[in-house]
Amino acid sequence: MEELLRRATSGDIQAILQLLEQDEDILYRTAYAYVKNEQDALDVMQEVTYKALKKMYTVKNPQYARTWLMRILINCCLDLIKKRPPVVHVDVEPIGFDTYQSDIENMLKTLPLSDQQLIYLKFFEQWRNKEIAELQNIPEGTVKSRLHHILKKLRKQAGERSDW
């Protein structure tokens, strides 16, 4: 893996493509979590591939190549979200649908995007706090503190729901 990362950061196109292929699943799931539909997630993946092929050589330390890819992906997702026209969502109560899961999803949607990102990376993608800190260029203690506050907010919000 180290050799692949070294070759990719030196601009080897085959190594970059191989790295993207290895991380394709996590990159796609992360993109989908941000943009919420398959077509936009695929568009983001295409943009990430283009940017990786064009700029991967700028990564100075090969061990951060995967973190760099994730940061590029998240920035592409945020750019796409900003360009979207505003959408009005109408909540319709699904018949026979597991409302507990729906309530959790709705609670997560109330969080700012940066908080959603932390929750997604930590609990859905199983990233370690150190990895999240490297991705966001913040101290590991800040990641722990933010996660603590987000979870506290979610617990309070869940406690205020009378139908639980």
pLDDT in the model for residue 144: 93
Do 63 and 107 share a domain, yes or no? no
Do 16 and 80 share a domain, yes or no? yes
Whether the model pTM is above 0.75: no
Do 106 and 53 share a domain, yes or no? no
CATH (domain of 34): 1.10.1740.10
pLDDT in the model for residue 157: 81
User: Residues near 2 by Cβ (< 8 Å), separated by ≥ 6?
Assistant: 62, 63
What is the number of domains present in the chain?
A: 2
Show the domain range for 55: 1-87
Mean pLDDT, range 103-115, rounded to an integer: 81
* Residue 28: C-alpha distances to residues 33, 53, 79, 90, 164 (Å): 9, 17, 16, 27, 33
CATH (domain of 161): 1.10.10.10
Q: Is residue 160 part of a domain?
A: yes
